[in-house]
Amino acid sequence: VPIPVPPGAAGGRVEVPRSVTAVLGQDVVLPCRYRAQEQEQVVQVTWLKRGPGSVPTEVAVLNPQHGEHVQEPFAGRVLRHGQGDLEDGAIVLRN
The tens digit of pLDDT for each residue in 11-29 reads 789 999 999 999 999 999 9
Boundaries of domain holding 83: 26-93
* pLDDT, average across residues 37-60: 91
Per-residue pLDDT reduced to its tens digit, 69-89: 999 999 999 999 988 889 999
Better-predicted residue by pLDDT, 9 or 13: 13
Could you tell me if residue 12 is inside a domain? no
Could you tell me if residue 62 is inside a domain? yes
Could you tell me if residue 17 is inside a domain? no
Could you tell me if residue 18 is inside a domain? no
Could you tell me if residue 9 is inside a domain? no
Instruction: Tell me the CA end-to-end span of the chain in Å, nearest whole number.
Output: 25
* pLDDT, average across residues 57-75: 94
Q: What's the confidence (pLDDT) of residue 54?
A: 82
Question: How many structural domains are present in the chain?
Answer: 1
Could you tell me if residue 39 is inside a domain? yes
Could you tell me if residue 19 is inside a domain? no
